[in-house]
Chain A
Amino acid sequence: MLQTSKPRYGEKAIQGLLAACGILSVLTTTAIVISLLGPTLGFLEVVPIGDFLFGVEWAPQFEPPSFGVLAIVVGTLNVTFWAMLFAIPIGLGAAVYLSEYASPRVRKTVKPVLEILAGIPTVAIGIFALTFILPEIIQPLWPGEFLGGASDKPFMALAASLGIALMVVPIIASISEDAMSAVPRGLHEGAYALGATRAKVAVRVIFPAALSGIVASIVLAISRAAGETMIVVIAAGSTPNLTMNPLESVQTMTAYIATTATGDIGTGTLDYKSVFAVGTVLFVLTLVMNAISIRLARRYREVYE
């Protein structure tokens, strides 16, 4: 091995400095966990953990207050479920079209346009959901009563769901398209040589081959949907409601945090601590989803690179 004639302290210092930048990211995670954990434990001293995790009534303002987180967890599930019901078929359809059917020119134009959609501030999408999707699309299609919900409400889970669908379609389309494009050409050509039609190649060959990448994109979209705040704050209302009915007004975990933890909340109050407890539930939920997504994405990368 070659050895330098004198030790280069400057080089070592620079390496240390750069490593510190990397370590800062770990510190961010640690800081998040510490920030969440302290007040959450304080919260659980007052509210028994069983009542918190399995209670079905969320009424922090009542006397006595009730902190059953299931009510707002279900609110999040409601909005996320209906959003994915629309976003998954549309996103995957767009991905298959772009990777298997579109000419290179169409793909080169449509993909950046979809990525612009992903960059629209969610506050704008929320306002769009409340003032356009709800009165111009949902209410004309579902007049009056439906499945026990009325469509003339000023706020509705479905409006937020469609807004979120609009937000996550580009995520699903873009990542799934990447996964499908990564499938080796040989698989296409082999299938075509055996006489398969284009639709069969897309559905039976490319789709299964890219499946883990596709699932990873969907899991990422679900965690984005569950973590989205502004769209639900604006369009879904603020009524904690234990229902999966999309025509009801619901409150999600994120909406509760955003509407409760505004600047003037007093430190140390039970309301303040409840924000952190809800934040912990949300954080753990997205962490689990992300672990699944990373594992799946890694598996598909191992196969095709």
Chain B
Amino acid sequence: MTPRGRLAIAGARATTAAMLRDQPRGDVIRNAAFAALLLLAVLIALAGLLALLIQAFVEGAPALSTKLITNAPSTLFPEKAGFRPAIIGSLELIAGVIVFVVPIGIGAAIYLEEYADKARWWNRMIEVNIQNLAAVPSIIYGILGLAFIVRGPLDLGFILVAGSLTLALLVLPMVIIVAREAIRAVPDSIRQGSLALGATQWQTIRRQVLPASIPGIATGVILAVSRALGETAPLLLVGATVFVTFDPTPFSDAGYSAMPVQIFNYAVRPQDEFQALAFAGIIILLAVLLIMNSFAIWLRNRYEQRW
């Protein structure tokens, strides 16, 4: 392009910009005020998060020590009290949730994406039903756990496994929804290529579709597990209320505890020392959740496939 041509284009651009920029003064101020308000909204949300983290850290840091992990709770001696049974209880609960939710969640997702004929009313019903279940309040799952798993048809009693099953039912819709999205993201050409080579439908799913969608599914499972780890309300209804000073076992009806329940238990005590313990527990819980969620996000970004 000649220098003259370039000059002409720059001139034309400047003129157009000047014409467009010719706004009334009121508009300019109003636009700036609007943008400032929007920014304020973001900042308020972020400030809330920051305040929560800082408060937990300031209040809980003095109580942080290894005894939190090694000692059992105590009603009399806050300086000796810890979270050991609650931590072990939470780990066992989560293990149960994973054992239950991974096969069933992925199985349901595969069925809905790969086999289900959308024209059939029962398949549509399963879909709508899963969406509905995802929005049912967690306390209702607690009622279900109490009436159906602890008592009623399953009649397991107030054991840790009943808590696991309740939490599993709670996060199952979430796992199914995320796993479906991961499976849907695998392009059809992969399936057709596999089928054309003579693979059966199940071989195609097992050897092609599932391996390609594993990162997405794993992300969903981690997010679901971190949700289950932080849930308190349903556990209150299915037996995790007892003051537990021993390491809980899955099938014992002697009682069990979980991290958020123990935090709640400490927080409602009036003494400052127990309050500090509750905040220390929040720090531990938030740290674990943060690591899990960051890992999930990393996994999603690392293995995200562009087809």
Q: Which residues of A contact B (CB under 8 A)?
A: 8, 10-11, 14-15, 17-26, 28-29, 31-32, 34-36, 38-39, 89-94, 96-98, 101, 110, 112-117, 119-125, 127-128, 130-132, 166, 169-170, 173, 195, 197-199, 202-203, 220, 223-224, 226-230, 233-234, 254, 257-258, 261-263, 267, 275-276, 279, 282-283, 286-287, 289-291, 293-294
Is the beta-carbon distance between B137 and A282 smaller than 8 angstroms? yes
B285 at the interface (CB under 8 A from A): yes
Is the beta-carbon distance between B31 and A22 smaller than 8 angstroms? no
Partner of B38, one of A8, A101, A170, A233: A101
Is the beta-carbon distance between A123 and B230 smaller than 8 angstroms? yes
Is the beta-carbon distance between A21 and B104 smaller than 8 angstroms? yes
CB-CB nearest 6 A-B residue pairs: A227-B137, A93-B41, A121-B230, A21-B107, A229-B233, A35-B147
Query: Count of A-B contacts with CB under 8 A?
Result: 267
Interface of A, helix, strand, loop or mixed by DSSP: helix
Is the beta-carbon distance between B200 and A11 smaller than 8 angstroms? yes
Partner of B42, one of A10, A15, A94, A263: A94
Select the stretch in B6-14, B63-71, B123-131 that faces chain A.
Answer: B123-131
A22-B108, A261-B146 known; A197 and B137 CB under 8 Å? no
Is the beta-carbon distance between A262 and B236 smaller than 8 angstroms? yes
Inter-chain CA distance A226–B46, complex, in Å, is 23
Please name all residues of chain B whose beta carbon is closer than 8 Å to the beta carbon of A10 when the two chains form the complex.
202
Is the beta-carbon distance between B231 and A19 smaller than 8 angstroms? no
Please name all residues of chain B whose beta carbon is closer than 8 Å to the beta carbon of A93 when the two chains form the complex.
37-38, 40-42
Which residue on B lies nearest to A291, using beta carbons?
A: B132
B232-280 interface (Cβ within 8 A of A): 232-233, 236-239, 241-242, 260, 263-264, 267-268, 275, 278-279
Inter-chain CA distance A299–B207, complex, in Å, is 36
Inter-chain CA distance A272–B244, complex, in Å, is 24
B218 at the interface (CB under 8 A from A): no
Partner of A197, one of B31, B108, B138: B31
B297 at the interface (CB under 8 A from A): yes
Is the beta-carbon distance between B49 and A116 smaller than 8 angstroms? yes
Is the beta-carbon distance between B126 and A26 smaller than 8 angstroms? yes
Which of A15, A18, A24 is most buried by chain B, counting CB atoms within 10 A of its CB? A18
Which residue on A lies nearest to B200, using beta carbons?
A: A11
Inter-chain CA distance A66–B40, complex, in Å, is 46
Partner of B282, one of A17, A127, A257, A283: A127
Q: How many residues of B contact A (CB 8 A)?
A: 94
Is the beta-carbon distance between A25 and B176 smaller than 8 angstroms? yes
A17-B107, A23-B126, A254-B233 known; A120 and B52 CB under 8 Å? yes
Please name all residues of chain B whose beta carbon is closer than 8 Å to the beta carbon of A286 when the two chains form the complex.
135-137, 140
Please name all residues of chain A whose beta carbon is closer than 8 Å to the beta carbon of B56 when the two chains form the complex.
124, 128
B133 at the interface (CB under 8 A from A): yes
Please name all residues of chain B whose beta carbon is closer than 8 Å to the beta carbon of A279 when the two chains form the complex.
139-140, 143
Please name all residues of chain A whose beta carbon is closer than 8 Å to the beta carbon of B119 when the two chains form the complex.
none
Please name all residues of chain A whose beta carbon is closer than 8 Å to the beta carbon of B176 when the two chains form the complex.
25
Within the complex, the shortest CB–CB distance from A39 to chain B, in Å, comes to 7
Inter-chain CA distance A286–B52, complex, in Å, is 28
B45-92 interface (Cβ within 8 A of A): 45-46, 48-49, 51-52, 55-56, 59
Inter-chain CA distance A97–B142, complex, in Å, is 38
B226 at the interface (CB under 8 A from A): yes
Is the beta-carbon distance between A290 and B232 smaller than 8 angstroms? no
Is the beta-carbon distance between A25 and B52 smaller than 8 angstroms? no
Is the beta-carbon distance between A229 and B111 smaller than 8 angstroms? no
Within the complex, the shortest CB–CB distance from A295 to chain B, in Å, comes to 11
